């Protein structure tokens, strides 16, 4: 239940789970049932997890834990697994479930591939490509006009989805390899300090684990599924953050992309198919198309600030989270198209055989 200070009206919101500051990272991970979500990914379905809310409300801590850069080129030497976020725990869970699946189903070979990107100033940059990230960071520090800085191209495919071209993809044999890539990419994210957050994300980032499952008996039968772990930058008011110059420009672009995200959520819940959903208006919503109104299992975590002066921002977060919960995705297993075609041919052959038997019986 949410109440607004100075107003008598009350509004009630219903969600699957509610956590308070006393809950641990373990409580959040277990309470959200993420192990079941990852099980669906291993079975061949897409899944997306992301946190939504204003800057400083705890999104990055929820998704990535407390491993933050302290200074340029220096990270915390103290690591506490209890503080690991959903991403680190999800990576470990995924490899454990894959190992268990391969023990039970001997005929399956499962490969895992990782990619990591950030959307900064409405351009896509590869967090696992040192040359790409290094150049961007250098330009930002010199306050150079980055309007001419080229990001990676997003293109539309025949499978009704957006893909990023020339994105680095690494195969990972173990969860340690995946975690190493995640930590490397996290250190390359654009961060800044302002009045509301010492380590404010200046970009949206998406860490993707792609799972390829091959039936050894049928070499051509390959199922591809994805787990997307998204750390959104938070909505910002310049009057509260005190940002100027380059950070102010970043705030404007962050708010623009989040505005489009809210438009997509509103469109999916209110227009009943009358209008075109505005996925193309933002790089973020293009890459989340399957997660919002598509064929993916999607978990949205609404993060709220405990401070009373952020009541308006909290209510806005609750409103859009409530709308998002009304979106009806249609999760479908990503069966290999060649296998689908082969099964259709087999069915036609069986139908013809039945017709032939019936004809022979009639004769």
Cα 259 to the center of its chain, rounded Å: 17
- Residues 329-350 have a mean pLDDT of 71
Amino acid 3: pLDDT: 42
Query: What pLDDT is stored for residue 157 in this prediction?
Result: 83
pLDDT band at 195 (very low <50, low <70, confident <90, very high): very low
Domain map (residue ranges) of the chain = 2-332, 338-363
Rounded-to-integer distance, Cα 238 and Cα 265, Å: 25
Dmax over CA atoms of the chain, in Å, equals: 89
Residue 127: per-residue pLDDT: 93
- 129 vs 185: CA distance, rounded Å: 9
Banded model confidence at residue 133, pLDDT cuts 50, 70, 90: low
Which pLDDT score is estimated for 7?
45
Would you say residue 340 has pLDDT above 50?
A: yes
Measured CA to CA, the distance from residue 18 to residue 278 in angstroms comes to 30
In terms of Cβ atoms closer than 10 Å to its own Cβ (0-12, 13-18, 19+), residue 14 is exposed
Residue scoring higher pLDDT (44 or 11): 44
Is 60:199 a contact under the CB 8 Å cutoff?
Answer: yes
pLDDT, tens digit, 9 for 90 and up, residues 218-251:
666 788 999 999 999 887 655 454 455 565 666 6
114: which 2 tokens? 């990782």
Hunting for tokens 């998406």 — which residue is that?
Answer: 206
Q: What percent of the chain clears pLDDT 90, i.e. is strictly above it? A: 42
CA dist 157 and 160 (Å) reads 6
Please tell me which residue, 141 or 163, carries the higher pLDDT value.
163
Superfamily of domain 2-332: Kinesin motor domain (3.40.850.10)
Angle at 117 between CA 30 and CA 221, to 5 degrees: 75
Name beta bridge partners: 171. 113
Q: What is the pLDDT of residues 44-57, one digit of tens each?
A: 999 999 999 888 88
183 class by beta-carbon count within 10 Å (0-12 exposed, 13-18 middle, 19+ buried)? middle
Which pLDDT score is estimated for 363? 75
Residue 152, pLDDT > 70, answer yes
pLDDT at residue number 257:
86
Residues facing residue 10 across a β-bridge: 3
pLDDT digits (tens, 9 = 90+) for 52-77: 988 888 898 999 987 554 334 434 44
Distant-in-sequence, close-in-space partners of 123: CB < 8 Å, separation ≥ 6: 149, 150, 151, 152, 283
pLDDT tens digits, one per residue of 18-27 = 999 899 999 9
Q: With 70 as the cut, is the pLDDT of residue 91 above it?
A: yes
Q: Which residues lie closer than 8 Å to 17 by C-beta, 6 or more apart?
A: 31, 32
Beta bridge partners of 120: 123
pTM attached to this predicted model: 0.81
CA 131, distance to chain mean position in Å, is 24
Predicted pLDDT of residue 112: 97
Provide the 10 A C-beta neighbour count for residue 260.
20
Assigned token pair, 249: 């420009």
DSSP 236-298: --HHHH---HHHHHHHHHHHHHHHHHHHHHHHHHHSTTSS---GGG-HHHHHTTTTTTSSEEE
Report the pLDDT value the prediction gives residue 134, as an integer from 0 to 100. Answer: 62
């Amino acid at each position: 239940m949410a109440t607004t200070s100075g107003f008598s009206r009350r509004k009630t919101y219903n969600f699957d789970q509610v956590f308070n500051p006393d809950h641990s990272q373990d409580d959040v991970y277990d309470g959200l049932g993420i192990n079941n979500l990852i099980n669906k990914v291993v079975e061949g379905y897409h899944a997306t997890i992301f946190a939504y809310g204003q800057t400083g409300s705890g999104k990055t801590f929820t998704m990535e834990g407390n491993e933050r850069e302290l200074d340029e080129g220096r990270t915390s030497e103290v690591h506490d697994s209890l503080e690991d976020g959903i991403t680190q725990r999800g990576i470990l869970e995924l490899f454990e479930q894959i190992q268990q699946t391969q023990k039970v189903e001997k005929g399956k070979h499962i490969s895992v591939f990782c990619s990591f990107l950030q959307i900064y100033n409405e351009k896509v940059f590869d967090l696992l490509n040192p040359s790409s990230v290094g150049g961007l960071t250098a330009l930002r520090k010199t306050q150079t006009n980055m309007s001419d800085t080229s990001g990676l191209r997003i293109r539309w495919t025949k499978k009704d989805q957006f893909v990023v071209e020339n994105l680095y993809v690494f195969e990972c044999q173990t969860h340690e390899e995946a975690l190493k890539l995640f930590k490397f990419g996290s250190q390359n994210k654009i961060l800044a300090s302002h009045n509301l957050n010492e380590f404010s994300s200046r970009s949206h980032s998406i860490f993707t684990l792609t799972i390829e499952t091959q039936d050894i008996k049928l070499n051509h039968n390959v199922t591809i599924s994805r787990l997307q772990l998204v750390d959104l930058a938070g909505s910002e008011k310049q009057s509260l953050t005190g940002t100027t110059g380059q950070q102010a420009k970043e705030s404007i672009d962050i708010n623009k992309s989040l505005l489009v995200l809210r438009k997509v959520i509103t469109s999916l819940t209110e227009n009943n198919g009358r209008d075109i959903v505005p996925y193309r208006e933002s790089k973020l919503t293009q890459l989340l198309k399957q997660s919002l109104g598509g064929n993916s299992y999607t978990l949205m975590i609404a993060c709220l600030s405990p401070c009373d002066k952020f009541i308006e921002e909290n209510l806005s977060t609750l409103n859009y989270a409530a709308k998002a919960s009304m979106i009806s995705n249609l999760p479908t297993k990503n069966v290999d198209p060649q296998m689908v075609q082969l099964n259709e041919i087999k069915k036609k052959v069986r139908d013809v055989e039945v017709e032939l038997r019936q004809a022979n019986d009639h004769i």
